[in-house]
Amino acid sequence: MFRYALHKKGVDFASLTAIDVGDAQAMDEAFRAGRGDYIHQQGPAPQQLENDERGFIVASVGEAIGPVAFSSLMASRRWLGNIMVRAFMRAYRKARTYVVETPPEEIAAAQAHFFPRIEVEVLARAIASYQGLGCWTANPLITRDAYDAALDVFLHAGAITRRHAYEDVVAPPPGEG
């Protein structure tokens, strides 16, 4: 997604000197130690760097790309006919509505234990950022536009070689019942 965001903004990834130091924690440690001029991270890591006065958020991949079917559910079409799917989808819709409608401070307080190295106020800023981007919606439907954006990303990365038909890949979310 980072490479595609650069592409959309007219930056050639090959013109950059990328440093691969491993996982997210190793990346954060390397940047804090002075390796590299910039880092690409998911929230709340960049917000924590900024809070620690170790860097500044200067760009957003999400803003550059726009809505994309990134965090999606996958299931077999057979399972979608299962009676349990309705109960699961009710809970899933409630959770999605919660992250859209609840103040970021309240979500951060409830989820802070999952982020032991992140200050609660920093986590709240990251959540507010995601809410502001429209990353999360109450409706679990993958829209055609968000699906097409995902295909653009995957094609650019070479992860797929052709566009797959929306109807072949996306099933409407099971309804309430």
**Structural domain spans, the chain:** 2-169
pLDDT, residue 174, reads 81
pLDDT, residue 39, reads 95
pLDDT, residue 76, reads 86
User: Among candidates 159, 154, 135, which has minimal Cα distance to 43?
Assistant: 135
Model confidence at 176, in pLDDT bands (50, 70, 90)? low
Buried/exposed code over 35-48 (b: 16+ C-beta within 10 A; e: otherwise): eeeebbbebbbbbb
pLDDT, residue 48, reads 95
Kindly state the percentage of the chain with pLDDT values over 70: 98
How many Cα atoms within 13 Å fall on the side-chain side of residue 72? 17
Cα 176 to Cα 154: distance, rounded to the nearest angstrom: 32
pLDDT, residue 77, reads 82
DSSP label of 37 = S
Model confidence at 139, in pLDDT bands (50, 70, 90)? confident
pLDDT, residue 177, reads 44
Instruction: Render pLDDT for 46-93 as a digit per residue (tens, 0 to 9).
Output: 999 999 999 999 999 989 998 888 777 888 888 888 888 989 999 999
Cα 27 to Cα 54: distance, rounded to the nearest angstrom: 13
Model confidence at 4, in pLDDT bands (50, 70, 90)? very high
pLDDT, residue 5, reads 95
Residues 6+ apart with CB under 8 A from 126: 43, 44, 46, 47, 118
pLDDT of 145 > 70? The answer is yes
Mean pLDDT estimate for the chain: 92
pLDDT of 36 > 50? The answer is yes
CA 128 to chain centre: 13
Matching residue, tokens 């500044």: 56
